[in-house]
Amino acid sequence: MNTNSDRESETWGSRFERLLPLFGHRNWIVIADAAYPAQSSPGIETIFTHGDHAQVLEKVLDAIGASRHVRATVYLDAELKLVTEEDAPGVTALRKKMTVLLAGQNTREVPHEEIIARLDQAGSLFRILILKSTLAIPYTSVFLELDCGYWNEQAEKRIRNVLAGKTTGTLEVHAGPMEKNGE
């Protein structure tokens, strides 16, 4: 496990900006609440941001949105919609902020334990960056599963069908840089 104590002189923002170009499909970025645990998988790096949850989320979403190479599927804890103001003062205002920040994003609500299982599985092979905020409201972590920004599911499905011999039409194949002249 890597923690921000390994890089005391580097801010979370500069560390994130250095890592984002290295990340691609199957990497994850988590904007976590203050109680989110430090995980033990070696591929998971946790950084305490000392920052406001919504501001950290906004900075990360803006950077991903401005990048050409990745896009994100957003996972939210399904439990968040059940947290009451009585049990967690400020949750209503935070949900409203998150709704605005996540507008237009591919967002899914999944039970917390399912998200953690997916994250744990991904962390065994791929790097994960956890950015902990100062927020003290449960089930507010935002999980961003990165995918290729310049490729889509339909194009991938066409290629997989060709490889599996399941084409229903013709896929035009062009000579590319891997072919040598005269061969």
pLDDT, mean of residues 151-166: 88
pLDDT band at 9 (very low <50, low <70, confident <90, very high): low
Measured on CA atoms in the order 104, 118, 122, 42, is the torsion positive or negative? positive
pLDDT digits (tens, 9 = 90+) for 84-94: 999 999 999 99
**Beta partners for 132?**
32, 48
Q: Please provide the CATH number assigned to the domain covering 2-163.
A: 3.40.1650.10
> What pLDDT does residue 39 have?
83
φ and ψ of 50, to 5 deg? 60, 20
Structural domain boundaries in the chain: 2-163
pLDDT digits (tens, 9 = 90+) for 19-58: 999 999 999 999 999 999 988 888 899 999 999 999 999 9
